[in-house]
Structure 1
Amino acid sequence: MFASFYQCYLQLGRKFTLLDGLPALAIRLYLVPVFWMAGTSKLNHFDSTVAWFGNADWGLGLPFPWLMAALASATEALGAILLLLGFGTRLISIPLAITMFVAALTVHWQNGWQAIADASAPFANASVFAATEKLERARDILQTHGNYEWLTESGNFVVLNNGIEFSATYFILCLALLVMGGGRYVSLDYYTAKYVKN
């Protein structure tokens, strides 16, 4: 019984082999706007980015802030382009993963896991519970003095917690691309490898 079930399982896996490039494509296309917006935002406000990277009082306090800002900006913007094309996917996934790891540790770590403050979530911490009070106060103000229905017609009013959730997710997706590559049939990596073999 188990052996026949397992044989069916293996056959199903073989049928999906032709589609094995699609998950890599989906991950790449998911990450493209994330890294493009992050990189170009840093480049468009480069002086502010350098100041934020270097200032220990209100920023990250990193050494060599100009170099660090240039590397992070270029990695994210160029990374978005390479991911879109599926070219050098494994190679660019390494500095992108490092960038997300550094962001998680230096920018988001002290805020815990959650990117959006939700006191009912399983990983809610003290900053999330503090944000809940701010959220209720903001709702009261908006309901009293603003058009609350108009403001929330597209979704709930939220307060960001700025935790590591998003940077950790992007880090994990970069690791997946490091292993999977750009994807069969759907990346320049695939066609370049075929050309080089011939």
Structure 2
Amino acid sequence: MLTQTLTRPFTALDRFGSWGADLPLRLFLAWEFFESGLEKFNGANWFADLQGNFPFPFNLLPAGLNWQLSMWAELICPLLLVLGLGTRLASLVLMVVTVVAIAAVHWPAEWSSLAELARGYSISDQGYGNYKLPLIYLVALLPLLLKGAGRLSVDHWLKQR
């Protein structure tokens, strides 16, 4: 009886959650990545300055190609997230973009201890890196990669057909 009394108020939330729990996550990530893609679309290529920091195999590609790959991934994949179309693939692509960004831009140039590395877990760079925000994006993309877009998505609609 006590269990039923405690769980009853959450029944509606459970029903809504089965349909749209992932939607705020998809919209948040889509906004963040699309904004970054637009910045690249309207800006100048600065990848040549840090091409040497890119991990393999991106360090073998020309900076201009990396710029185009990153920009288009950050413009197209967010649209796919909003629609819930190819959500797992879009999430994977954005995770790769994020890992490359962490390695090339956000990871500290030098660190000699875990305590020093932990100082880079911040939003602003104080000389120790600033990988907190991209790490949050990686963690937020993980459920979409593992579970997909959920029921309120084109993916779900296509699967039903």
Match of 2:80 among 76, 79, 82: 82
- Asked whether 1:173 is paired with 2:140, we answer yes
Letter of the aligned partner of 2:74 in structure 1?
Answer: E
> 1:113-149 CA distances to partner (integer Å, 9 max, x unpaired)?
10147xxxxxxxxx37xxxxxxxxxxxxxxxxxxxxx
Letter of the aligned partner of 1:187 in structure 2?
Answer: S
Look up the match of 1:51. Answer: 48
Taking the TM superposition and a 5 Å limit, the aligned residue runs for 1:69-148 are 69-110=67-108, 112-116=120-124, 127=126
- Structure of greater Rg: 1
- 8 A Cα contact 1:76 1:96, kept in partner: yes
Distance in 2 (CA, whole Å) between partners of 1:163 and 1:23 is 29
Letter of the aligned partner of 1:180 in structure 2?
Answer: K
CA shift, 1:44, in A, is: 2.0
- 2:121 alignment partner, SS class: coil
Distance in 2 (CA, whole Å) between partners of 1:68 and 1:13 is 47
Letter of the aligned partner of 2:159 in structure 1?
Answer: A
| Structure 1 residue ranges without an equivalent (≥5) | 118-126, 129-160
> 1:57-83 CA distances to partner (integer Å, 9 max, x unpaired)?
xxx464321221111111111011111
Runs ≥4 residues deviating over 4 A: 12-15
Look up the match of 1:151. Answer: none
RMSD: 2.9
Letter of the aligned partner of 1:191 in structure 2?
Answer: W
| Structure 2 residue ranges without an equivalent (≥5) | 109-118
Distance in 2 (CA, whole Å) between partners of 1:52 and 1:44 is 18
CA shift, 1:96, in A, is: 0.5
How many residue pairs match? The answer is 146
- 8 A Cα contact 1:42 1:49, kept in partner: no
Distance in 1 (CA, whole Å) between partners of 2:64 and 2:15 is 45
The verdict on how the C-alpha distance between 1:36 and 1:103 changes in structure 2, with shifts beyond 3 A counting, is: same
Percentage of matched positions with identical amino acids: 26
Letter of the aligned partner of 1:69 in structure 2?
Answer: W
Match of 2:60 among 58, 63, 66: 63
